[in-house]
Structure 1
């Protein structure tokens, strides 16, 4: 049984129980209230009649005035306050009994004692007799029964209308509640089949609406991940195809005799092979980093000395491009890190500066401690990076150059690897515009154990 049918039966059962309970309570309460009202009214009327009879008994000294003229009781009953009440042939006064002080019947029809209500008659504060009347259960006539039947029919009609309304409301409620669930089911089925383009766009503000909004966000993330994966495979194929095409062309030229087999030709092949190896290694490192499988050997190391060593190793390349390198490094900066991975990070950053910065440019490296973290900043001079490219510098295979020139722009994996290394150390890395005209890379690492 589906959830819609279950909800329908639950709502219908609940409404029916409530309607039955309300209808039964109304009918029983009405009947009881009516009987109580009639009893109280008759008792009040009989008490007034008893007062009249007590006055007349005090004047005559006996009950002969009633025994000799029984119709007088009817007139007195009407004078007691029920002159407008008509009940056909069976008037209420015919059910009255007059008893003496010993509760012996003087006039009126006999009635069982258990159904009688006795009202004492006092004359000059002395008991003169009793006036009794039966309760409503004993004197109920056809008119009362017809009135109760009409009320019962009204209750039954109300109950039937309530059942119809319960069916309608239960069906509408079940449909209203199940509709978003069915939409969520269809949407998740589409996601399961690989269609991430659909959106629910639910206007609801309840829990189902929030769930639909979260599914839309999941669809968006999956769609972006699918697009990124497709772009990733396309970019990898492109990056691998270029050095392989060069190698194939060089080898075909050598084998066909177009190019002589010289040392320069072998060096050219070696250069392309080295480029291809570097690319494959970067892809491997990035895949390990994304999967959390890139190993780190964390030891206490001086980041300031490590930075000096890396900068010294690039001194020859800096001199070739006539770079001005400014160092603002403390005497020591001990922290827990993997020196091999941090050196790899610094190598990638410095290689980017060498590739992109114009000859005769400037590079500024500073290291500072703020609170419990160390901040390493590398700034280079022009050219800079467009504003739209700054958030994407750490994406896989992203390069500012649209031409994707390998010899100028590299493979676009260095900064992505840097980001994974920084995150693995519990730090962060970000790119901004440099006041020198180029790019400012800020690396933040915790100063205590991670």
Structure 2
């Protein structure tokens, strides 16, 4: 009786040549970006109508709505639409930043601080307030204007969400030879240091999804990480339970 063929002796399937693998990876990446653009467009179009008409209803632009509950419901629809639009923009931003290199040049930090605080203003609720710690004259740093403001705004938003009621979010700097460190600090509950690598992954948060008290998809910190990488900066998180979270952005100084 003939013996069964040995599976280990069977020839392995041929490995695609490196050039073919690169082409396949490039095509897959192009498909992913095309999908993100399509989904973003298809979601933004109806969201613009939801936001626009709910704002008209909330403002009672064409006359009173009648029962006061209608105005409250319009406000809820508008707020939910804004949250969904932010999520769509963040998902698109994640896909666009992967592998991207930004053009950097000399940038002043003070205007970037003001712009980022203004962008994050709607996230400072529950009595939480931002504070720029006094500093001396700051040197110009190498950064992309959009990238620098995006990173600072996301870090401020993240800190504002996790700060305690009536708490404070501090934005401070330290200047060293060759670089400037920008710190964004909150006085929240903090997280376990072992969880810090996980916070850099998309759709992860610092609290258990079943018990966390803040909303969000967990995309802010990954966007900051990718943006810093794209403009040659470095992002580092440090924390301790009960002592809040500190985000440090290290930027090279302009020659």
Please indicate the TM-score interval, normalised by the length of the shorter structure.
Answer: 0.5 to 0.7
Q: Give yes or no for the alignment of 1:356 onto 2:162.
A: yes
Q: Is the 8 A contact 1:328 1:365 kept in 2?
A: no
Residue 320 of structure 1 and its aligned partner are, at CA, apart by: 4.8
**One of 272, 276, 291 as aligned partner of 2:84:** 276
Match of 2:206 among 387, 400, 406: 400
TM-score, normalization by structure 1: 0.39
Structure 1 pair 355/317, CA: closer, same or farther in 2 (3 Å)?
closer
What's the CA shift string for 1:118-144, capped at 9, x where partnerless? xxxxxxxxxxxxxxxxxxxxxxxxxxx
Distance 1:272 1:309, change over 3 A: closer
Counterpart position of 2:221: 415
Say whether 1:289 aligns with 2:97. Answer: yes
| SS of equivalent residue, structure 1 residue 437 | coil
* Gaps in structure 2 of 5+ consecutive residues: 1-7, 17-42, 51-66
Check the 8 A contact 1:381/1:434 in 2, yes or no: no
Aligned residue in 2 for 1:222: none
1:182-214 per-position Cα deviation (integer Å, ceiling 9, x unaligned): 89x74xx4998xxxxxxxxxxxxxxxxxxxxxx
Q: Which sits farther off after the overlay, 275-284 or 355-364?
A: 355-364
Residue by residue over 1:46-86, the C-alpha shift from the partner in whole angstroms, topping out at 9 and shown as x without a partner, is xxxxxxxxxxxxxxxxxxxxxxxxxxxxxxxxxxxxxxxxx
Report the structure number with the largest CA radius of gyration.
Answer: 1
1:305 aligns with 2:125: no
- Distance change in 2, residues 1:435/1:273 (3 Å): closer
2:246 paired with 1:440 = yes
Q: Displacement, 1:404? A: 5.5
2:75 maps to which residue? 267
Using the TM superposition, give the Cα deviation of residue 260 of structure 1 relative to its aligned residue in structure 2, in angstroms.
Answer: 9.2
Q: Give the distance between the partners of 1:306 and 1:337, measured in 2 at CA.
A: 11
Residues 300, 309 of structure 1: alpha-carbon distance in 2 compared, 3 angstrom cutoff: same
The CA distance in 2 between the partners of 1:402 and 1:424, in whole Å, is 30
Matches within 5 A, 1:143-158: none
Q: Matches of 2:213 and 2:81 in 1, distance apart?
A: 14
Unaligned runs of 5+ in 1: 1-181, 193-239, 248-258
Q: With the length of structure 2 as denominator, give the TM-score of the two structures.
A: 0.65
Instruction: Quote how far apart the aligned CAs of 1:317 are.
Output: 6.1
Counterpart contact for 2:192–2:241, Cα < 8 Å: no
* Cα offsets for 1:80-106 (capped at 9, x unmatched): xxxxxxxxxxxxxxxxxxxxxxxxxxx
Alignment of 1:218-257 (within 5 A): none
1:68-87 alignment to 2 at 5 Å?
A: none
The 1:313/1:328 distance shift into structure 2, 3 A limit, reads farther
Residue 233 of structure 2 contacts residue 249 of structure 2 at CA under 8 Å; is this kept in 1? yes
Q: What RMSD, in angstroms, separates the aligned Cα atoms of the two structures? A: 3.5
Greater RCO structure (CA 8 Å; 6+ sep): 2
Q: Is the 8 A contact 1:298 1:338 kept in 2?
A: yes
For residues 206 and 241 of structure 2, the distance between their equivalents in structure 1, rounded to whole angstroms, comes to: 19
Q: Per the alignment, do residues 388 and 336 of structure 1 end up closer, same or farther by CA in structure 2, a change over 3 Å counting?
A: closer
The answer to whether the 8 Å contact 2:200/2:222 transfers is yes
Q: Distance in 2 between matches of 1:299 and 1:368?
A: 20
Matched residue, 1:336: 142
Note the C-alpha offset of 1:274: 1.3
Q: Which of the two has greater helix per residue?
A: 1
CA change 1:315–1:349 in 2 (3 A) is same
Count matched residues: 200
Residues 378 and 440 of structure 1 are in contact (CA less than 8 Å); yes or no, is this contact kept in structure 2?
Answer: yes
Partner of 1:389: 195
Matched, 1:372 2:184: no
Write the distance in 1 (CA, Å) between the matches of 2:130 and 2:90.
Answer: 29
Q: Secondary structure at the match of 2:205?
A: coil
